[in-house]
Amino acid sequence: MSEVVKFGRPKGFFETFERRPGSIKKNMSYCPGCGHGVLHKLIAEAIADFGIQDKTTLISPVGCSVFAYFYFDCFGLQVPHGRSAAAATGLTRANPESIVIGYQGDGDLAAIGFNAFIQAANRGENYCVFFVNNAIYGMTGGQMAPTSLLGQKTTTSPYGRNALTEGYPLKVCEMVSQLEAPVYVERVALTSPANILKARKAVRKAIQISMEKKGFAFVEVLSGCPVNLKLKPADMDKFIEENMTKYFPLGVFKDVADEREPVKRAVPVYDREKVEETLYRAMPGGNEAHESLDSPLFDRELRVKIGGFGGQGVLSLGLILAAMGKYRNLNVSWLPSYGPEMRGGTANCAVILNKGAIGSPIVDSNCDLLVVLNRPSLDKYLPELGENGVLMYDSSTIKDAPKVKPGQKAIAISAGDIAEEFGNLKCANAVMLGAIGAMLTKYYLTPADAAKFQETAEAAIAECFAGKDKIVKMNAEACKLGFTKMQNAQS
Amino acid sequence: MSQVVKKKFRCHPEPNECKGCGRCVNACPKKLLKLGSALNIMGVPYAEYVGDGCIGCGACFYTCPEPGAITVFEITGED
């Protein structure tokens, strides 16, 4: 007798599930009668039939199907709970040629990951989602899901789900189909063979839409969890058909696949030169040739911290310093930290200048230059000042001279008073910048670098306040004034 | 006159890959599958193909949650 296989183990699965612990390598880890297995087969069959295993990534969720990558012979990604849509967005944007399948349960998609999911749907990301709705949390032992039915008893709704306290079951298909971007939205059920064949058609259509790059395709699959619903596997279909489909009607909610053109997004670039060009050289000042600093001070990493009240220009002073570094060929980082209020809270920023690469932008120790514009910042950050560090403080707000350790320098400048005299208290930060310049000139800079200070500061100020000519001019003058005042005080 | 050749099929449930959920038993339109009383390596009674007359509809295959527990063969020759 000769015979051929008409229906058999889909080629989209591994021949044996070697990653699965234990001795059973041919079966998946699902309970008897579980819907996951049925849907897995439909997906595995489709990716093998379409010949796309080499470019398909299946994103497995958190839930019973967490180990889906044990089974599918394609690329797999396991993501944190609910983050499937975010990972899928990254995958399909980074590699538009890849076919991405999101596989999510009701807790993953309709609860913790609902925002990520609905935003991805609304952006029309080019991938397909199979949403397994079994009206309960399976893996964790039968708690209420967003899609649990009204009156349904679960371990967390022992008297039955009540709309007044737990709300109504979430109708995801209905919601997604209202959005503009999705291409195809259908709800199917894994019950009778006829319904499973409809589900098969839907799975294949959704994957085909992804292959044609037409955008977001969504299939909600009503599936059984006989264990947690405390039903015999054979009675599961009856429950779905008699109870679930009343609230979650089956059918196509949206299908505009024929009208849609393939989605065309910017093509990602992986050429290193081009990436660097875009990231760094296209920035203001990034393209021009600059003179490098020759003072020995810059032969090592310089760590700066600036603290004060919000509104004193703490963050801008840091930005200007960082921009100055950029105009003298240094690598720079600027890390702001501030309270929720725009004015009056505390603010600080960390600036790092380095001829080499910068590892971390954080400055919380070994600070070389600490600039404080108020008392609380002095108290808080003085312990972070390094062995030979320099403290510059605004003596118009900090009256008593701070005690620094031997080797450290404490330099006072009444930046606030000078700025007020100058005509605008807001310029205290620029006065402080000038004072920093005078301090550096006196102790650290070579004459050639010192001569360039004012010019570099002005270029940085012009960049930071671009388009506000009056403010640029005022700050440049305040900086000059701060420089002179400090120089006079030092001599 | 051309003669309609009726295709013949055979269903094979693999005893040691069956978890005994009974979905195929319900799904078979010809009622050719049943759960036996013997236990397999997973300790459950497994589905068995009883008699012949499989029509090759694939209902048992698609309703079965296990990847390879059911195979449906088309009989292409009698030799």
Report if residue A27 sits inside a domain: no
CA–CA min distance B2, chain A (Å): 24
Q: What is the mean pLDDT of residues A168-182?
A: 97
pLDDT of residue A341: 66
Q: How many domains does chain A have?
A: 2
A2–B59 CB contact, under 8 Å: no
Q: What percent of chain A has pLDDT over 70?
A: 98
**Are A118 and A180 in the same domain?**
yes
**DSSP track, A133-191:** E-SSBTTTTSB--TTPPTT--BTTBTT---HHHH-PPP-HHHHHHTSSS--EEEEEESS
Q: For A25, name the nearest residue in chain B, comparing CA atoms only.
A: B17
Amino acid in the structure at residue A369: L
Report if residue A275 sits inside a domain: no
User: Mean pLDDT across chain A, nearest whole number?
Assistant: 93
Per-residue tokens: A364:
């919380």
Q: Tell me: the pLDDT tens digits for A106-131?
A: 999 999 999 999 999 999 999 999 99
How far is it, in rounded angstroms, from Cα B50 to Cα A382? Answer: 86
The answer to whether residue A196 neighbours chain B at the CB level (below 8 Å) is yes
Q: Tell me: the pLDDT tens digits for A280-325?
A: 766 666 666 778 888 999 999 999 999 998 888 999 999 999 999 9
Q: Is the pLDDT of residue B1 over 60?
A: no
Report if residue B23 sits inside a domain: no
CATH at residue A403: 3.40.920.10
Domain that holds residue B5: 1-14+28-79
Q: For A232, name the nearest residue in chain B, comparing CA atoms only.
A: B21
For residue B77, list chain A residues with Cβ-Cβ distance below 8 A: 1-2
The answer to whether residue A357 neighbours chain B at the CB level (below 8 Å) is no
Q: What is the mean pLDDT of residues A53-72?
A: 95
Of the three residues A228, A255, A282, the one that is the final residue of a domain is A255
**Are A70 and A196 in the same domain?**
yes
Domain that holds residue A167: 35-255
pLDDT class for A266, splitting at 50, 70, 90? confident
The answer to whether residue B53 neighbours chain A at the CB level (below 8 Å) is no
B68–A8 CB contact, under 8 Å: yes
Report if residue B49 sits inside a domain: yes
Q: Tell me: the pLDDT tens digits for A377-404?
A: 999 999 999 999 999 999 999 998 899 9
Query: Largest Cα–Cα distance in chain A?
Result: 109
Q: How many domains does chain B have?
A: 1
Residues contacting residue B19 through CB under 8 Å, at least 6 positions apart: A27, A31, A32, A33, B42, B44, B65, B66, B69
pLDDT class for A490, splitting at 50, 70, 90? confident
Q: What is the mean pLDDT of residues A202-227?
A: 97
CA–CA min distance B26, chain A (Å): 7
CATH at residue A248: 3.40.50.970
pLDDT class for A32, splitting at 50, 70, 90? very high
B67–A193 CB contact, under 8 Å: no
Report if residue A281 sits inside a domain: no
Per-residue tokens: A432:
């402080």
Q: Is the pLDDT of residue A343 over 70?
A: no
Report if residue A205 sits inside a domain: yes
Report if residue B44 sits inside a domain: yes
CA–CA min distance A237, chain B (Å): 9
Report if residue A127 sits inside a domain: yes
B72–A7 CB contact, under 8 Å: yes
A8–B71 CB contact, under 8 Å: yes
**Are A385 and A247 in the same domain?**
no
What's the ipTM?
Answer: 0.94
Q: Judged by CB atoms within 8 Å, which residues 19-48 of B form the interface with A?
A: 19-23, 25-27, 29, 41-42, 44
Residue count of chain B, please give it.
Answer: 79
- Under DSSP, is residue A410 helix (H, G, I), strand (E, B) or coil? strand
Report if residue B22 sits inside a domain: no
pLDDT of residue B79: 63
- Tell me the count of A-B CB pairs closer than 8 A: 114
CB environment A332-368: b (16+ within 10 A), e (fewer) = bbbbbeeeeeeeeebbbbbbbbbbeeeeeeebeeebb
Q: What percent of chain A has pLDDT over 90?
A: 86
